[in-house]
Structure 1
Amino acid sequence: MGDKRRRAVAAVGITALAAPLLVALGTAPAVAASGCSTQTGPYQKQVETFLGRPVDGKQSAADCKVIKAFQGKHGITPTSGYAGPVTWGVMDLMNKQKAVGTNPNKSGKCPVNKGRIACVDLTLQLSWIQDGKDLVYGPVPVRTGRNGYETRTGLKKIYWRHIDHVSSIYHVAMPYSQFFDGGQAFHSVGVSMWNPPGSHGCVNMTSATAKKYWALLHNGDDVFVYGRKPGT
């Protein structure tokens, strides 16, 4: 057997061994030529329910198309239409955020004796502004620090504001920045608030929310961060 033929046979053998192993480990769901997963995910029924699809717990081309669109909108990768834990984790968080309604401080964890204060619930990835027990604005979804770059908890104060700030570390624009803990700040970003895995510590907001926070908050205003972001 020539060298080329031996190498070809070896490659085929390695591929044959690796492919089932990857599928068994759940790292390589089967994908059609269209780039759409043909494999039923572990959260298929939950994802189908969330997206208003017929709930049969079986992946279909129509299911995949809708799941892919959701993943693409929120920057979930791989964008293959597979109903995996990351996709369901985003949907589950959305459900929990919606359930909060207009009473985000029902637990009373954010201080009500500080006057105007911006609250950040890391567990639910929500923020709002209150004055005593009165809700001033929100709650709104936010995107906080990922694992290893967690947004630090505790009572803080806004100490510096810069409307056109650019990060000296990551060299990215941070419009409407309001710093409250070292390099951590409220600021707007151009990605989905549910885009995993999260920020480098800042509290990311939509442009509309960041502008509202800019108008409502000032240097010296309190900020209270509590809870723990899922996955950190």
Structure 2
Amino acid sequence: MHRQRALIRTFGLAAAVVFGAGACGPQQGGAGPAAPAAPVVSPSASAGGQDDKPGSPSPSASDSASPSGSPSEAASRSAAPVVKAVMANGDETDQVRELQARLRQLKLMTSAPTGFYGSKTTAAVKTFQSQHGLGATGTVDEATWRKIQELSAKPTEEELRPPTTNEVAAPDPRCMRGRVMCISKESRTLAWMIDGKVVSSMDVRFGSENTPTREGLFQVEWKAKDWTSTIYHTPMPYSMFFSQGQAVHYSADFAARGYAGASHGCVNVRDKAKLSALFDQVRVGDQVVVYW
């Protein structure tokens, strides 16, 4: 029995080593990086009831005067109808990409559209709503979306997917000291930082919902200039491994398809020249921060 347990432990360790040896590769037809936020739920749904329907007949005077009507019932009858969100923080869709392109036309966003509704999009929507007398919630309801469409043109394909580098996000506080690859899931950028200064930056993409890129503080564990995934058998040039088989590496699939695809958890880079230069500078032991 002891010998069997020893064999099981040995086999499990070997399997972990094989998995950690390079578990990334492009996913065909991937939906892009995963968004951790939960779907937007209306207040009525979160309370266990059905969505309110604007335009439903209001209660009659005799209803409100009924002896059986409690104050709480009267309050619920007089409550304003729920305003449904068209797009909200945490969404990741083509419609969000169109929203971002339109906000860019209106000079309310400077970064390229990513399709992910994060803090930058929320701030831009709040500014727009304040400028036009709409409730500054940061969430796009039907009235806000109609107004944005009215004041902007339908984006071109180049506006939706510009061939420019994404704007670097504000760095995570953990990126401000030492040598750090500072990787933002919201802006989809990697910033190579030394003592709080950005030395270089590049576009990146991440794993899908089923194989997400892990977030947190890591270290570069090892590097390989020429590497092929031992699981997916795809090339991973300039690999810098930081978390159990997840690595920063060049992706020919990302270079060809952009954000139409996704990795199996790795941080993909599409600019091979920039990554080659970064690979030469990064040392084993340098920090890696992955954050929203």
- Normalised by the shorter chain, which TM-score bucket? 0.5 to 0.7
Q: Which of 183, 190, 206 does residue 120 from structure 1 map onto?
A: 183
The residue number in structure 1 matching 2:205 is: 143
The 5 Å alignment of 1:54-133 reads 98=166, 100=167, 104-106=168-170, 108-133=171-196
Alignment gaps of 5+ in structure 1? 1-41, 51-86, 228-232
Q: What is the Cα deviation at residue 191 of structure 1?
A: 2.6
- AA at the equivalent of 2:192: I
TM-score of the pair, normalised by structure 1: 0.53
Q: Is the 8 A contact 1:119 1:129 kept in 2?
A: yes
The change in CA–CA distance for 1:181 and 1:94 in structure 2 (over 3 A counts) is: farther
Separation in structure 1 between the aligned mates of residue 233 and residue 194 of structure 2, nearest angstrom: 35
Separation in structure 2 between the aligned mates of residue 226 and residue 134 of structure 1, nearest angstrom: 18
Q: Is the 8 A contact 2:175 2:182 kept in 1?
A: no
Query: Secondary structure in 1 aligned to 2:277?
Result: helix
Q: How many positions carry a matched residue from both structures?
A: 141
Q: What is the Cα deviation at residue 197 of structure 1?
A: 3.3
Whether 1:179 and 2:241 are equivalent positions in the alignment is yes
The change in CA–CA distance for 1:89 and 1:214 in structure 2 (over 3 A counts) is: same
Separation in structure 2 between the aligned mates of residue 198 and residue 90 of structure 1, nearest angstrom: 21
Alignment gaps of 5+ in structure 2? 1-93, 103-154
CA root-mean-square deviation = 3.2
Q: What is the Cα deviation at residue 91 of structure 1?
A: 5.6
Q: Is the 8 A contact 1:186 1:202 kept in 2?
A: yes
Query: Secondary structure in 2 aligned to 1:146?
Result: coil
Q: What is the Cα deviation at residue 215 of structure 1?
A: 1.2
Question: Which protein has the bigger strand share?
Answer: 1
Separation in structure 1 between the aligned mates of residue 279 and residue 189 of structure 2, nearest angstrom: 17
Q: Which of 217, 224, 229 does residue 155 from structure 1 map onto?
A: 217
Separation in structure 1 between the aligned mates of residue 183 and residue 288 of structure 2, nearest angstrom: 8
Query: Secondary structure in 2 aligned to 1:150?
Result: coil
Q: Deviations over 1:16-50 (max 9, x none)?
A: xxxxxxxxxxxxxxxxxxxxxxxxxx96xx59x78
Which protein is bigger by CA-based radius of gyration?
2
Q: Which of 266, 273, 276 does residue 202 from structure 1 map onto?
A: 266
Q: Which has the higher contact order (CA 8 A, sep 6+)?
A: 2
Dislocated runs of 4+, deviation >3 Å: 87-98
Whether 1:213 and 2:278 are equivalent positions in the alignment is yes
The change in CA–CA distance for 1:156 and 1:92 in structure 2 (over 3 A counts) is: farther
Q: Is the 8 A contact 1:93 1:124 kept in 2?
A: no
Q: Deviations over 1:138-194 (max 9, x none)?
A: 1x1111111111110000000111111110110111111110001100111113352
TM-score of the pair, normalised by structure 2: 0.43
Separation in structure 2 between the aligned mates of residue 174 and residue 164 of structure 1, nearest angstrom: 7
